[in-house]
Amino acid sequence: MSSKLRVAVLGAQGRIGSEAVRAVEAAEDMELVAALTRGDKLETLAETGAQVAVELTTPASVMGNLDFCIRHGIHAVVGTTGWTDDRLAQLRGWLAGSPETGVLIAPNFSIGAVLTMKFAAQAARYFESVEVVELHHPNKVDAPSGTATRTAQLIAAARAEAGCAPQPDATATALDGARGADVDGVPVHAIRLRGLLAHQEVLLGGEGETLTIRHDSLHHSSFMPGILLGARRVATTPGLTFGLENFLDLG
Amino acid sequence: MSSKLRVAVLGAQGRIGSEAVRAVEAAEDMELVAALTRGDKLETLAETGAQVAVELTTPASVMGNLDFCIRHGIHAVVGTTGWTDDRLAQLRGWLAGSPETGVLIAPNFSIGAVLTMKFAAQAARYFESVEVVELHHPNKVDAPSGTATRTAQLIAAARAEAGCAPQPDATATALDGARGADVDGVPVHAIRLRGLLAHQEVLLGGEGETLTIRHDSLHHSSFMPGILLGARRVATTPGLTFGLENFLDLG
Amino acid sequence: MSSKLRVAVLGAQGRIGSEAVRAVEAAEDMELVAALTRGDKLETLAETGAQVAVELTTPASVMGNLDFCIRHGIHAVVGTTGWTDDRLAQLRGWLAGSPETGVLIAPNFSIGAVLTMKFAAQAARYFESVEVVELHHPNKVDAPSGTATRTAQLIAAARAEAGCAPQPDATATALDGARGADVDGVPVHAIRLRGLLAHQEVLLGGEGETLTIRHDSLHHSSFMPGILLGARRVATTPGLTFGLENFLDLG
Amino acid sequence: MSSKLRVAVLGAQGRIGSEAVRAVEAAEDMELVAALTRGDKLETLAETGAQVAVELTTPASVMGNLDFCIRHGIHAVVGTTGWTDDRLAQLRGWLAGSPETGVLIAPNFSIGAVLTMKFAAQAARYFESVEVVELHHPNKVDAPSGTATRTAQLIAAARAEAGCAPQPDATATALDGARGADVDGVPVHAIRLRGLLAHQEVLLGGEGETLTIRHDSLHHSSFMPGILLGARRVATTPGLTFGLENFLDLG
């Protein structure tokens, strides 16, 4: 067996999945041992000696797939969504029975998006004001984006923990909607523009200065470095890890 | 009499007025002949041979001041606000009786702000999507700013005239306020941040590309180049001119 | 014959050409009557009754193709590069013999890029300082981009015509390259970053304010609206037109 | 004695010093006990029971001032520049003799600037490309700014430590200066624009995404929150601390 990390992709026919297949193939330290699509047998994972499974299927399939992986000691990097407290509890139960296996679930594999959230939360306590602007293509059906809502929640939590005062805002007369949506006290604005993909900006302001952290996602290939980084690290991180930020060295 | 333009400032004690006094004094092609404050006699304007009056007082004083100026053939550059249709009609009547006198009224003397509005309106018909973001210090009491509202109205008018389709927006579920205020079909977002002064961004998006026009006002001295430009041009532009954009050469 | 504009694409197999084929097919007011690739006979253009030819081939082919089009009264929209004074003179000669035929040559069909250049040149005389920043993917072999160089030249020409003073710059000690490249007195900075495609920013600064005009090109489909606009307008614009800006209504 | 922190300002007549006097007076948890200017006696610090001295004088005065402070057990927050290895060694020697006294020396008291540097260095290893752009008023005599140079050095060091490959750059033909200054392999670009004060942008790019961290300093009052934070923390941090980032909680 080569010294390369043996990686399988589940959901290999999807938009992100097919990109992941190519990314694993292109990674010098990895070997793609299986690319499963709907209907393929999970036994292939064991037969090909997969060490890490990249799980990019659907909420309907993910639990069965992870059950198989954990029983066979195959680590997993999971991009599939739909995680409830019940599901997480069940997953932790399975992992308790396989103490050397690691599972990484990440709502977002873009390193830039993860760093934006992390930095925004770290900086938020040092500025009087903070607002979030997210910008997406006009075919998006929800506003604000899940990432923007999560970012605002993390900011609000960090400010609450640090005992920050409410944000200053003298607005007395406003057009409806002008000041954005209120997410735990943090204004969030959603822009929809043809030509854009997915972008987010966190603006922080204090006496005489502002700090702006902006993430531009220009292609869904931006998830690949995070998926590969997750695959490399999950094998040596037993148990459940939630969020890619836990695998970034920000010391 | 020197060949320099003889300029008087009315409202010379105010924040903008005192800045205008300094700017006129510093302009090589101008001579400050009078700096009037509340209670000073208007006759000084005639006695000092003022050719142009820079009017920066209050809505309560402006009509009397302009009446005097026009009767004495003194051109005027007016930054004072509060212009109704009635007032404008009265002013046009006065000017009809003094056909060589010019008056410039400008809601905004910042050349950058004026160009932003002009360019945004020109570009708007060539893009599917357009939104306006304005950013101000948190002591501002209204949202959105008057400039942002006017910018959105100009954009909407230009799109209507060109027969543009409504903007694409698939939003189905939204937090209240997330998509901003609706000004004639153009979303407008207002951000309030400590550390900022007055800023505006117009985002235009089409197939595969975006165009962004941003104006940052970092000091109210930004009105001075526009006031000086107005003073130089108003003397050779009889009648009423509304808006500094009419004095910019954009050929 | 339908009332739709009958359009042919030459160079239909190329990256831009194949996109143009799709764009013409999708345009409600156009009919794609021919999509020619290398080796196809030009007679097809006449046989299919093409009214406008979109020429996206190579410098080696373009003159022969335009000769044929002009002789048959077929208008042309040309994206192929390599235009020398000699070639333009020859083209003008052909057009003199077919006075009702129109040809549009455009170095850039992105409406956003064209507007950026136009607005930058218009605004440049009203600000003391102006610099250009272009940002591209790291596989680009030249720096700065041709568009940035042309933008700086247009800015410099507009400032010279308006009699602007040289830009203020007190730099006394500098690292080599820090202040960018000098293009006719306008500093131009080139950034190369993985993840980017093609972007340009023009920064203009005056007393207390700045104006920023930014163009982001996120996909080469951004050329399509300009190509379609060119096809619609060239049929009623006899003779040679150089630059898409001449077809934009910026009144 | 009140429970407020007793703070003195040295160099109280300077631009930053006078701002610091006002900031200390306005802080609810502090009491300004002395504001010394050139020629005032240092004994005042002891007589007024100062707990923390904010040192904003000159390289010629700072060592004498700190010698006095440390001998009297007065903590110090130092913004004065000119620190050599020799001076730091001497300072450490003095502090060894007064083990409960703390001194904070900070090249930059702007929290936004410090966070920009910190975040840029943390993120740099996760992106293929990184460049620094600094933007200042045109009266600045050096290019790039000291902050930009230091930021680039921190980025380069972080990338070296993580074993990052050199940045991708296919530039084959370039105008002199177009690609900026090279600071340890990180391109740095300096823009000089009327209307600006002090601004810095770090651009990071990876597969399909970019991360931008931007700091805008709009007034030198931006140093005050950092100076106050330093004063609060230095009293409980014995010994020498170099850099405000050490007093920020970024966990």
Residues of chain C found within 8 Å of residue B162, distances taken between Cβ atoms: 249
Q: Write out the two tokens for B163.
A: 């027969």
Catalytic residue among A4, A72, A140, A220: A140
Question: Is-catalytic flag, D75?
Answer: no
Q: Are B132 and B151 a contacting pair, CB within 8 Å?
A: yes
Contacts of D209 in chain C (CB under 8 A): 195
Same fold, D5-105+221-247 and D111-218: no
D136, D189, D199, D215: the active-site residue? D136
A211·D214 Cβ contact <8 A: yes
Using an 8 Å CB-CB cutoff, list chain C residues near D139.
168, 170
Tokens 């910008």 label which residue?
A: A135
Interface probe with B: pick from C110, C117, C133, C211, most Cβ of B within 10 Å: C211
Distances in whole angstroms, Cα of residue C243 to Cα of each of B119, B132, C111, C234: 19, 29, 11, 12
For chain D, percent helix, then strand, then coil, each to nearest 5?
35, 25, 35
With CB atoms and an 8 Å threshold, state whether C176 touches D177.
yes
Topology given in CATH for the domain delimited by A5-105+221-247: Rossmann fold (3.40.50)
Q: How far apart are CA D123 and CA D151, in angstroms?
A: 12
Burial class (CB in 10 A: 0-12, 13-18, 19+), C73: exposed
CA C11/CA C239 separation, integer angstroms:
23
Q: Look up the CATH architecture of domain A111-218.
A: 2-Layer Sandwich (3.30)
pLDDT digits (tens, 9 = 90+) for D69-116: 999 999 999 999 889 999 999 999 999 999 999 999 999 999 999 999
Residue type, C241: T
The whole-model pTM stands at: 0.93
Q: Reduced to 3 states, what is the DSSP secondary structure of residue B238? A: coil
Across B177-196, average pLDDT: 98
pLDDT of residue D220: 84
Question: Which pLDDT belongs to residue D250?
Answer: 81
Tell me, yes or no, if B196 comes closer than 8 A to chain D by beta carbon: yes
Q: What is the pLDDT of residues B14-55, one digit of tens each?
A: 999 999 999 999 999 999 999 999 999 999 999 999 999 999
The one catalytic residue among A118, A136, A189, A199: A136
Which has the closest alpha carbon to C69: C81, C57, C54, C79? C54
Distance CA A116, CA A234 (A): 22
Q: What angle do CA C103, C105, C106 make, to 5 degrees?
A: 145
Q: For residue A106, is pLDDT > 90?
A: yes
Rounded to the nearest angstrom, the minimum Cα separation between D207 and chain A is: 5
Per-residue pLDDT tens for C113-151?
A: 999 999 999 999 999 999 999 999 999 999 999 999 999
User: Any residues with CB less than 8 A from the CB of C26 and at least 6 apart, and which?
Assistant: none
Q: What is the pLDDT of residues D13-54, one digit of tens each?
A: 999 999 999 999 999 999 999 999 999 999 999 999 999 999
- Residue C173, φ and ψ in degrees, nearest 5: -125, 130
Strands ordered across the beta sheet of B198-206: B181-183, B186-192, B129-136, B198-206, B209-217, C209-217, C198-206, C129-136, C186-192, C181-183
Closest approach of chain D CAs to the CA of A179, in angstroms? 22
Of A33, A108, A40, residue with least CA distance to A68: A40
- B117-139 pLDDT, tens per residue? 999 999 999 999 999 999 999 99
Whether residues B125 and C211 touch (CB distance < 8 A) is answered with: no
pLDDT of A1 strictly over 80: no
**Which residues in chain C have their CB less than 8 angstroms from residue B208's CB?**
217-224
- The whole-number pLDDT of residue D2 equals 59
User: Which of C209, C227, C245 should we substitute to test contact with B (largest number of B Cβ atoms within 10 Å)?
Assistant: C209
Which chain B residues are closer than 8 Å to C111 by Cβ?
126-127, 206, 209
- Is A226 labeled as ligand-binding? no
Angle (nearest 5°) at CA C13 between C8 and C16: 80
Cβ-defined contact of B222 to D196 (cutoff 8 Å): no
Provide the annotated binding site of C for (S)-2,3,4,5-tetrahydrodipicolinate. 137, 146-147
Nearest CA in chain A to B145: A174
Residue B79 is assigned to a ligand binding site:
yes
Which member of A142, A171, A179 has the closest CB to residue B174?
Answer: A142
Domain residue spans in chain A?
Answer: 5-105+221-247, 111-218
Report pLDDT digits (tens) over B45-67: 999 999 999 999 999 999 999 99
Cα–Cα distance for residue pair D172/D187, rounded to 1 Å: 16
Q: How far is CA C112 from the centre of its chain?
A: 10
